C-alpha cells in the first residue's frame, strides 16, 4: 500500500489523532502560559526569586521527557494525567524565562510615568508592563509549542493521546508492510501541525503586539 493509499483508508483515525495531538498541545500550552506568566509576575522584581524560577524551570527542561513521564506514571497512572503534567512542565521554561526578561526589560521611565499618572499596581502591570513584555513572551510560547509537539509524541508511550500512537503502532509492527506508512503519517502529521501552529503564532503576533512597539 502506498503512503497516500494508507492515508486515504485511515483518514478517520489519523484525523482523530491529529485533532487530539493539537488539542493536547494547545491546552497544555494555555495552561503553561498562564502559569508561566503568573510565576514571572510574582518573581521578576526580586533578583533571587527570578533567578530561582528560571533555574528550577531550566532544571525541569534538562530532564529527558521519557524519564519524567516514567517518574509520573507511578504517581498519577497512565494516560492523560502524565501527558498533561509533563507537557505543562516542559512548556513553562521558555515562557517563564522570556516573561521575566521581558518584564525586567521594560523601561523604568515608562513605569515611573504610569505611577505618575496614578495607575494602580494592577493597572500598571496589565496596561503598561505586560503589553511591553508581550513580544518576548510570545516568542517563548512559540518555542515551547514546537518542543511540546515532539514531547507529546513520546507521551503516547504512556498511553497518552495523539499522533504518537501512530508512530508507536508502526514500531510495534516494525518490518511489516504498513509500519513505514504508520510512522511516516505520524511524523509528518506532527511536523505539519508544528508548522501550522508556528504560522498561527506569527498571525497572533501581528494582531496582539501593541502598535506602539511594532517595528
Q: Which residue ranges make up the site for other proteins (CB under 8 A)?
A: 47, 54, 58-59, 61-68, 70-71, 73-74, 93-94, 97-98, 101-102, 104-105, 135-136, 139-140, 142-144, 146-147, 149-150, 153-154, 157-158, 164, 167-168, 170-171, 174, 179-180, 183-184, 186-188, 190-191, 194-195, 198, 202, 215
Q: Report DSSP letters for 128-180, one per residue.
A: IIHHHHHHHHHHHHHHHHHHHHHHHHHHGGGT-SSTHHHHHHHHHTTTSTTHH
Least distance from C-beta 118 to other proteins, angstroms? 28
How far is it, in rounded angstroms, from Cα 145 to Cα 133? 19
Residue from 68, 66, 38, 33 nearest 53 by CA? 38
* Minimum CB distance to other proteins smaller for 10 or for 104: 104
Least distance from C-beta 133 to other proteins, angstroms? 10
Q: What cell does 189 get?
A: 502529521
How many residues in the chain? 215
* Minimum CB distance to other proteins smaller for 123 or for 195: 195
Least distance from C-beta 62 to other proteins, angstroms? 5
* Minimum CB distance to other proteins smaller for 114 or for 148: 148
Q: What Rg do the C-alpha atoms of the chain give, in angstroms?
A: 20
* Minimum CB distance to other proteins smaller for 123 or for 191: 191
How far is it, in rounded angstroms, from Cα 201 to Cα 198? 5
Least distance from C-beta 215 to other proteins, angstroms? 4
Amino acid at each position: 500500500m502506498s503512503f497516500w493509499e494508507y492515508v486515504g483508508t485511515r483518514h478517520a483515525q489519523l484525523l482523530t489523532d491529529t485533532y487530539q495531538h493539537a488539542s493536547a498541545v494547545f491546552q497544555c500550552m494555555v495552561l503553561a502560559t498562564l502559569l508561566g506568566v503568573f510565576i514571572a509576575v510574582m518573581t521578576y522584581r526580586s533578583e533571587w526569586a527570578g533567578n530561582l524560577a528560571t533555574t528550577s524551570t531550566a532544571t525541569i527542561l534538562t530532564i529527558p521527557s521519557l524519564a519524567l513521564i516514567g517518574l509520573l506514571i507511578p504517581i498519577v497512572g497512565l494516560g492523560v494525567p502524565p501527558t498533561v503534567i509533563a507537557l505543562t512542565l516542559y512548556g513553562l521554561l521558555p515562557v517563564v524565562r522570556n516573561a521575566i526578561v521581558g518584564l525586567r526589560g521594560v523601561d523604568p521611565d515608562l513605569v515611573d510615568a504610569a505611577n505618575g499618572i496614578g495607575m494602580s499596581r494592577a493597572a500598571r502591570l496589565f496596561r503598561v508592563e505586560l503589553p511591553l513584555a508581550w513580544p518576548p513572551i510570545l516568542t517563548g510560547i512559540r518555542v515551547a509549542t514546537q518542543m511540546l509537539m515532539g514531547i507529546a509524541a513520546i507521551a503516547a508511550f504512556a498511553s497518552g493521546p495523539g499522533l504518537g500512537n501512530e508512530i508507536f503502532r508502526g514500531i510495534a509492527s516494525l518490518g511489516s508492510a504498513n509500519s513505514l506508512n504508520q510512522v511516516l503519517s505520524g511524523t509528518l502529521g506532527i511536523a505539519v501541525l508544528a508548522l501550522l501552529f508556528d504560522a498561527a503564532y506569527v498571525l497572533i503576533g501581528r494582531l496582539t503586539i501593541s502598535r506602539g512597539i511594532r517595528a
